[in-house]
Amino acid sequence: MAPTPSKTTGGDPAPVVGGARQISEQTDTFVFEYSYPAEAGDLPALAAWLDRRLDRQRQNLAREASRGRDDARENGFPFNKYSSGTAWKTVADLPSWLSLSADLDSYRGGAHPNYGFDTIVWDKERDRALEPIAFFTSPAALDAALGERLCDALNAERAERRGERVEGNSTDPFEACIKPDETNLLLSSRSGRSFDRIGIQIAPYLAGPYAEGSYEFSFAVDAEILEIVRPEFRAAFTPED
C-alpha cells in the first residue's frame, strides 16, 4: 500500500487512519518529515503510538527552531532552518510481533546535520512496544553471547575503512569495543516465522568519527543466544536455518 502523504506549509499535519503514513512539512523555521509503513499503520494501537511520537517530535522541533531563530536575530547572525526526519521501516513482520527500525536525521544549526537510529518491537497480542534488549535476560548476558563477535566484525570493518589494523584492546574510544546494548539493536527474521537474526546499527561518533559514517552488522541467532532469551519470549526465537 502506498503511503498517505501529508504536505503542509504550517499547522498540524492532518490525521490519517490505517495504512502507511508520510508527513512532509516546511515552515519559515523548520523542515519536518516523519513516516511509517503500512504494517505499522494497520495496527491501530501502534499507529496511535507512532502518531504521539510524531506530534511530540514536531512540537519540540517547532519550539527549538523558534528559539534558534530568535537567538540568531538577537546576535546578528544568519539563521538556517532546523530539521528533523524520522523514517520507520519494517525489519520483521511475524504473526505475533512487528519489529521496526527508524532512520533519524536532524539539524540544529551546527556545522553539519546529525543522524542515528531507533528501534522497537511491537507486541501484537498485548498492544505494547518493547525494546529489543528486553527480550534477553540482561545486557551483560547479551554482551557475553554476542560481544566478541561484534567486536571482531567492527574492528575488521574499521580496519577496512581506515586502511590500517585496529587493536582490539585499545583505550581509544574510536578503537574500543562496543557492547550490543550500546548500539541500536534489531530483531530480524529470514524465515518470516520467528526471530533468527540480530542486527546491530552503530551511529556516527560512537565507534568512529563522523566522517567515517555508521556501522551495520547482522548475526545469526545460535544456541548461545537462545540460552539468554527470557523464558516468556523463547517461542519467538529459533536458530537461523
Is 86 in contact with 33 (CB distance < 8 Å)? yes
Cell 563522523 sits on residue: 210
Evaluate if residue 198 carries a pLDDT over 50: yes
Max CA pair span of the chain:
62
Residue 134: predicted pLDDT: 98
Write the pLDDT tens digit of every residue in 14-56: 455 579 999 999 999 999 999 999 999 999 999 999 999 999 9
Evaluate if residue 183 carries a pLDDT over 80: yes
Write the pLDDT tens digit of every residue in 128-181: 999 999 999 999 999 999 999 999 999 999 999 999 998 767 788 899 999 999
Residue 112: predicted pLDDT: 78
Burial (CB count <10 Å: 0-12, 13-18, 19+), residue 143: buried
More confident residue, 201 or 1: 201
* Lowest-pLDDT choice from 5-9, 22-26, 128-132, 188-192: 5-9
Residue 167: predicted pLDDT: 77
Determine whether domain 133-236 maps to CATH 1.20.58.
no
Is 106 in contact with 95 (CB distance < 8 Å)? no
More confident residue, 9 or 100: 100
Residue 2: predicted pLDDT: 44
Residue 16: predicted pLDDT: 54
Q: For the whole model, what pTM was predicted?
A: 0.89
Residue 1: predicted pLDDT: 40
Nearest by Cα to 94 from 135, 54, 122? 122
CA distances to 61, 77, 158 from 113, rounded to whole Å, are 14, 19, 22
Q: Which class does domain 4-130 fall in?
A: alpha beta
Evaluate if residue 126 carries a pLDDT over 80: yes
What are the domain boundaries of the chain? 4-130, 133-236
Rounded average pLDDT over 187-209: 96
Average pLDDT of the chain? 92
Q: Measured between alpha carbons, how far is 43 from 65 in angstroms, rounded to an integer?
A: 32
Is 159 in contact with 165 (CB distance < 8 Å)? yes
Rounded average pLDDT over 180-192: 97
Collapsed DSSP state (helix, strand, coil) of residue 70: helix
Write the pLDDT tens digit of every residue in 205-236: 999 999 999 999 999 999 999 999 999 999 99
Residue 240: predicted pLDDT: 84
Residue 7: predicted pLDDT: 45
By DSSP bridging, strand 4-8 and strand 21-26 are parallel
Q: Is the dihedral of CA 28, 33, 34, 36 positive or negative?
A: positive
Burial (CB count <10 Å: 0-12, 13-18, 19+), residue 190: middle
Question: Per DSSP, what are the bridge partners of residue 12?
Answer: none
**Count, residues in the chain:** 241
